[in-house]
Amino acid sequence: MDLTEIIEEWSYRLPKGFPTMKDGKFTVKSELKILRQVLAENGIEEIPDFTKGREEPIQEEKREEAPEVLTKDQMITLLSDPKITILPKNLARISALISRTAEKEESIETNVREYLAGDSAYADQVLDILYSGNVDEAALAVYLQDRKVDVSVFANKPTKLSDAFKSTGLSPGTLGDLALYRWSATPQLGTLEVLLALLLKDGFRPATSGDLVVGGVTYEVGGFNKRLRAQKGLGSSGEAQAGFKRGYLELAKKKGILDSDFVSISGGAKSAKRAFVVIKDDARYGSNWNNGWMSALEDMNKQLKELTGSDEVPVTNVELIEAMSVGFGAALLERKSPSDWAWIEKHIKDDGTLNRKEFLVDFACEYLDYYMGSEGSDAMFILTDASVASEAPSKSNFSAMVFPATGKGLRPHIFTTVGLTIPSYREKSGIQGVAFALKLGKLSSIVG
């Protein structure tokens, strides 16, 4: 925001519509507090110089200095003056303001504060969103006194917010603005969480932790491409990649096959009958469907299968899983044992390749159970939102879906209504890379 926009936004939030100035400086503590909020929301930590420079302590203004309050009719008359130029966004705000009625406005504000159970500064911002768009104040006041939209409206099928909440008196555009609103108080409320806490039957902002409470049940809320990054027990992509290399190298040594680091494939190492190549190219551990980490693991599996195929003790699928589990265990630190990965065996073919789609379905379901076990929530919303602008729909077309947040609950939806973004074990991917992500969408739009 430039200086003019900061002043406009600050003025709009002040009770009298403009800041108090004395001797060329803004002087009122309560008004400067609101200015700091505006600056913080726009990533500005230092308060501008135009508020500084006074030697005497800043004092609150005397109440008798407050300006005259215009009546609704006086304001309408003033705004009708053709000589006055007002920015369209400010005119919309003023129009919403003068259309309010005290009784309905008080009812809406009371319920917003109750359902969001939060600090007044954030509740005020939510009220600002409600009134800055198209809102049927009478319908919204009635709805908030008796919220009727049940969470089941989103059960197991993507449902547009504009369809689910059409009885609220809010336009699709206002619903979209409210869906995208986030606040940073503790507990934080992210994308869609404020809207759902406010509009769902029995919905509330959680008192201490979690994303959303509906009817006493805690829900996990996810936005566009929700990354399931557990709060604990999570390793890094680099650790996982190093683990795969280490696991396969140890298996190769166990089978009497030396890694290419120790034997020249082109010759010169007469004692080695065979040579196993551990894939070290970082790009081969990315999430690419055709040439990423699944392909890298398959290449190493195939080598071991081929090189030990005629031995009395060929490599087994259980041994391959033990090699894989060193990498997977480094990604998910609370699942270190090969037994945690025994489910993979049914997906390994005779040549060492994987039934990739079935493998990913099981992996995603196992991972969701792991994630929710650390989060302690009972259900998860998946929302298409504007965090990835090139892929997301317009905010008036947002959809949401809720399903039991377990592997069993997720399984029927994978590759039909819920798409997967698979982990990446490239060095640069860090902690985020080891986690699956979920979003509303089909297989063709997510993986190759």
| pLDDT for res 268 | 44
| pLDDT for res 379 | 77
| pLDDT for res 426 | 93
pLDDT by position in tens, the chain (length 448): 567 777 777 776 776 667 777 766 777 777 888 888 778 777 777 776 655 544 444 455 455 455 566 676 777 777 777 777 777 767 666 766 666 677 788 899 999 999 988 777 788 889 888 887 778 888 999 999 999 999 999 998 888 888 999 999 998 888 888 888 888 777 777 778 899 999 999 999 887 767 888 988 888 888 767 888 877 788 999 999 999 999 999 999 888 886 555 544 444 444 445 678 899 999 999 998 889 999 999 999 999 998 887 666 789 999 999 999 999 999 998 888 889 999 999 999 999 999 999 999 999 999 998 888 855 566 777 776 444 333 445 565 788 888 888 899 999 998 888 888 899 999 988 887 899 988 886 543 333 3
Tell me the C-alpha distance between 280 and 296, whole Å.
Answer: 9
Sorted by sequence, the CB contacts under 8 Å of residue 406 that are 6+ apart come out as 365, 368, 369, 372
Cβ(338)–Cβ(325) under 8 Å?
yes
| pLDDT for res 300 | 95
Question: Cα-Cα-Cα-Cα dihedral of 99, 100, 104, 108, to 10°?
Answer: 120
* Helix (H), strand (E) at residue 162: helix 161-164
C-alpha 204, offset from chain centre: 19
C-alpha 202, offset from chain centre: 23
Cβ(396)–Cβ(162) under 8 Å?
yes
| pLDDT for res 263 | 46
Residues 121, 126, 132, 136, CA torsion sign: negative
Tell me the C-alpha distance between 386 and 265, whole Å.
Answer: 51
| pLDDT for res 448 | 32
Token output for 270? 């007469």
| pLDDT for res 439 | 83
Beta bridge partners, 414, equal 418
